[in-house]
Amino acid sequence: MEIPADLGRVLVIIPTYNERENIEDITRRVREATPSVDVLVVDDNSPDGTGDLADALAEADERVKVLHRTGKSGLGTAYIAGFRWAAEHGYDVMVEMDADGSHQPEELPRLLSALEDADLVIGARWVPGGRVRNWPKRREALSRGANTYARLILGIPIHDATGGYRAFRAATLDKIGLDGVNSRGYCFQIDLALRALREGLRVVEVPITFVDRAHGVSKMSRDVVAESMWRVTEWGVNDRLDRLRARR
């Protein structure tokens, strides 16, 4: 499937922290699946040398770029740094993709094609046609439960609001604004989707196959889960209070 030419310049942003075992393969697959896109590796000073390997990949391929950060500061801030870099360098579309191979680069053309009629496209696991492979049942239950909770308390029509495989138009990020985004972990994904919906933008979910990582260690932790639950609950409660005040 060809990428629509009218989308303009596309940048795939891949945050990394200790992903040396994965970054070369995922970069290669992105370049093979979508030769016309560029890749930006945002490395948080990985102790395992991921940043050095990314630099070597960039030297061998002019479409691979690297943004080095001084330390591990969370997924959300890594993506925001990538978004800002993309805006400074004139990209029209920004794609979020994990480094661990859970997001299939071969599915990227479908996400980008869907962006022709949308402002934000989310690669979704929990919609018809979406699948998960090799994930522990506990993680699957946690993800399904978190997304159901977010959908109900926030009143949003999205089934995979925590999904991290997504494509934004640059204009979408401009409209929702990034200055007020404080989320660091996986609730960052919910935050941006919620902001897009509140701005009246069109958010579309495209089914994907999510594959658990084969190498390395997941960044999911109790602190990440706790932050997500707390922030989503806060957003939901504040939204209800705002609606009650508006009725008075």
Q: What is the pLDDT of residues 199-227, one digit of tens each?
A: 999 999 999 999 987 665 555 556 666 76
Q: What is the pLDDT of residues 84-114, one digit of tens each?
A: 999 999 999 999 999 999 999 999 999 999 9
**What percentage of the chain has pLDDT greater than the value 90?**
73
Q: What is the pLDDT of residues 229-238, one digit of tens each?
A: 777 787 777 7
Instruction: Quote the mean pLDDT of the chain.
Output: 91
Q: What is the pLDDT of residues 164-184, one digit of tens each?
A: 999 999 999 999 999 888 776
As given in the structure block, the two tokens for residue 167 are: 């494509």
pTM of the model: 0.91
Q: What is the pLDDT of residues 136-155, one digit of tens each?
A: 899 899 899 989 999 999 99
**What percentage of the chain has pLDDT greater than the value 70?**
89
The dihedral through the CA atoms of 124, 129, 133, 136 has a sign that is positive
* Helical spans, DSSP H, in the chain: 20-33, 50-60, 75-88, 108-114, 137-154, 170-176, 187-198, 222-247
What does the domain layout of the chain look like in residue ranges? Answer: 5-247
Paired sense of beta strands 120-124 and 209-211, if any: unpaired
Q: What is the pLDDT of residues 33-50, one digit of tens each?
A: 999 999 999 999 999 999
pLDDT of residue 4: 80
Cβ–Cβ under 8 Å, residues 9 and 91:
yes
Of residues 199, 150, 205, 157, the one with CA closest to residue 177:
199
For 178, the 3-state DSSP assignment is: coil
pLDDT of residue 215: 61
Residue with tokens 């990394």: 16
pLDDT of residue 185: 67
CA 196 – CA 12 distance, rounded (Å) = 20
Give yes or no for residue 31 having a pLDDT over 80: yes
pLDDT of residue 233: 81
- Assign domain 5-247 to its CATH superfamily: Spore Coat Polysaccharide Biosynthesis Protein SpsA; Chain A (3.90.550.10)
pLDDT of residue 216: 56
Cβ–Cβ under 8 Å, residues 122 and 203:
yes
As given in the structure block, the two tokens for residue 74 are: 């969370």
* Confidence band of 16 (pLDDT split at 50, 70, 90): very high
